[in-house]
């Protein structure tokens, strides 16, 4: 049985090793993108004892700065940080952010996010820098293969004798230890300690990789609401419409009032007559699962309840909360900065496994040949 798992581990590792290396390395590099990204000066403003400009004002300023692009959302990040006007489009593809002083509307920075370093890294992580229709399936299947590699590796690791156990749970090196032994231990012992994290990263990644996996996992943990999102509501009759001048501002003021200690509040302008005004409030920056998603009829400002997973957090059951935690678990953000540090270290160790494994195979191959 071990011989079968060894062959499975070896050949699947050789086939997918380079892809696993890229996915793990880019994941490690992306771990602190939020902390590093917040260092820049244009993301910070001096706190003032005045109210923020409403989103309609920031919207007009941002659209004047980036004409011809469709605004996706206005995001407020607290009293000491710049507001963001986020522009997003598919055909043609663009992703731009205009950073604004929320007190006076001053444009602090216009940034093309497609040229951002971390955007480059996450594109490699998701698509291997290939067209999405090619890269996304490659990443998904490589992740699924990696699950099999990890499980088979754990089975191979189990020693035949108890005496061998101590050499497989920690590094036992001295001055006389040669490189082949060091490389072997890095793969075997390092692989042991990354097993749990590797499976967590892989399984949470498969939620984005395959729709069937996402649906199955969601039902397994007890999710009941729909995973499908829609921002469209039935159009009200003319007599029901209150037609406020700036409905998005009314929604913003409501969100600001109901979430006084928010980490971030986002409001989304409408682009059709039947679209809802979507708004969301995140309790704490970096904890994306702790977000309330709200929807309002643009004509009456009445709240519309959506029967999908993206609603108020208090209305979600345990399984739905767990599913919403998927991104935070995948990145380690669920445990804050310590979790991200652990995720970074483990991702680097996982990236090293295809390298040390290939060296072991290459040395063995050369030895047989000689």
What confidence score (pLDDT) does residue 293 get?
Answer: 94
CA distances from 214 to 26, 205, 265 (A): 23, 10, 27
pLDDT digits (tens, 9 = 90+) for 350-361: 999 999 999 999
Quick check: pTM over 0.85?
yes
Bridge partners of residue 302, in order along the sequence: none
What confidence score (pLDDT) does residue 345 get?
Answer: 96
Kindly state the tokens that stand for 10.
Answer: 């070896």
Q: Residue 240: is its pLDDT beyond 70?
A: no
Torsion of CA 28, 32, 34, 36, to 10 degrees: -130
What long-range pairs does 102-108 form, CB within 8 A, spacing at least 24? 102/45, 102/52, 102/53, 102/58, 102/76, 103/45, 103/48, 103/50, 103/52, 103/53, 104/53, 105/53, 105/57, 105/58, 105/61, 107/61, 107/62, 107/65, 108/42, 108/43, 108/45, 108/82
What confidence score (pLDDT) does residue 287 get?
Answer: 79
Torsion of CA 47, 53, 54, 59, to 10 degrees: -110
What confidence score (pLDDT) does residue 106 get?
Answer: 96
Residues 6+ apart with CB under 8 A from 36: 118
CA distance 20 to 141: 10
CA distance 129 to 32: 20
**Residue owning tokens 């001048």:** 245
Residues 6+ apart with CB under 8 A from 128: 19, 22, 23, 135, 138, 139
Q: Residue 238: is its pLDDT beyond 50?
A: no
pLDDT greater at residue 137 or residue 233? 137
Kindly state the tokens that stand for 144.
Answer: 């699924």
Q: What percentage of the chain carries pLDDT values higher than 70?
A: 95
Q: Residue 237: is its pLDDT beyond 50?
A: no
Over residues 224-241, the mean pLDDT reads: 64
Could you tell me which of 134, 139, 149, 287 has the C-alpha nearest to residue 206? 139
State which H helix or E strand residue 84 sits in: strand 83-89
pLDDT digits (tens, 9 = 90+) for 166-222: 777 787 777 778 888 889 889 988 899 999 999 999 999 999 999 999 999 999 988
Is the bond into 92 cis (omega within 30 degrees of 0)? Answer: yes
Over residues 26-33, the mean pLDDT reads: 95
Kindly state the tokens that stand for 81.
Answer: 């940080």
Over residues 287-300, the mean pLDDT reads: 90
Residues 6+ apart with CB under 8 A from 354: 13, 17, 18, 20, 21
Q: Residue 120: is its pLDDT beyond 80?
A: yes
What confidence score (pLDDT) does residue 338 get?
Answer: 94
Q: Residue 244: is its pLDDT beyond 60?
A: no
pLDDT band per the 50, 70, 90 thresholds, residue 227: confident
CA distance 211 to 230: 17
pLDDT digits (tens, 9 = 90+) for 86-112: 999 888 889 999 999 999 999 999 999
Q: Taking CA 87 as the corner, what is the angle to CA 82 and CA 91, rounded to the nearest 5 degrees?
A: 165
What confidence score (pLDDT) does residue 160 get?
Answer: 76
Q: Residue 148: is its pLDDT beyond 50?
A: yes
CA distance 129 to 287: 28
Kindly state the tokens that stand for 332.
Answer: 């380690």
pLDDT band per the 50, 70, 90 thresholds, residue 368: confident
pLDDT digits (tens, 9 = 90+) for 34-84: 999 889 999 999 999 999 999 999 999 999 999 989 999 999 999 999 999
Over residues 131-144, the mean pLDDT reads: 95
């Amino acid at each position: 049985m071990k011989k079968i798992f060894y062959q499975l581990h070896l050949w699947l590792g050789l086939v997918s090793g380079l892809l696993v290396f890229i996915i793990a390395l880019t994941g490690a590099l992306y771990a602190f993108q939020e902390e590093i990204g917040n260092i820049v000066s244009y993301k910070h403003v001096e706190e003032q004892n005045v109210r923020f400009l409403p989103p309609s004002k920031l919207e007009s300023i941002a659209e004047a700065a980036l004409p011809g692009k469709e605004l996706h959302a206005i995001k407020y990040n607290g009293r000491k940080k710049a507001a963001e006007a986020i522009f997003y489009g598919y055909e043609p593809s663009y992703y731009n952010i205009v950073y604004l002083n929320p007190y006076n509307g001053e444009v602090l920075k216009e940034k093309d996010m497609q040229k951002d370093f971390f955007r480059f890294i996450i594109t490699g992580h998701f698509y291997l820098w290939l067209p999405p229709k090619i890269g996304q399936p490659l990443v998904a299947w490589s992740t699924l293969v990696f699950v099999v590699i990890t499980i088979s590796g754990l089975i191979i690791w189990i020693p035949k004798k108890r005496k061998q156990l101590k050499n497989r749970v920690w590094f036992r090196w001295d001055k006389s230890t040669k490189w082949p032994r060091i490389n072997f231990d890095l793969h075997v012992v390092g692989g042991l300690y990354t097993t749990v994290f590797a499976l967590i990263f892989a399984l949470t990644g498969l939620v984005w990789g395959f729709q069937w996996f996402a649906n199955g996992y969601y039902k397994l943990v007890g999710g009941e609401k729909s995973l499908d999102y829609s921002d469209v509501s039935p159009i009200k009759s003319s007599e029901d419409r209150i037609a406020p001048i700036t409905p998005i501002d009314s929604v913003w003021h409501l969100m600001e009032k109901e979430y006084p200690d928010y980490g971030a509040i986002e409001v989304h302008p409408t682009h059709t007559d039947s679209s809802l005004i979507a708004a969301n409030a995140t309790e704490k920056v970096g904890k994306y699962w702790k977000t309330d998603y709200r929807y309002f009829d643009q004509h009456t400002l009445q709240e519309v309840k959506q029967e999908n997973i993206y609603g108020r957090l208090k209305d979600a059951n345990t399984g739905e909360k767990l599913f919403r935690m998927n991104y935070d678990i995948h990145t380690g953000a669920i445990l804050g900065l310590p979790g991200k540090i652990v995720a970074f270290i483990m991702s680097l160790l996982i990236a090293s496994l295809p390298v040390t494994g290939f060296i072991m195979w290459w040395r063995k191959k050369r030895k047989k040949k000689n």
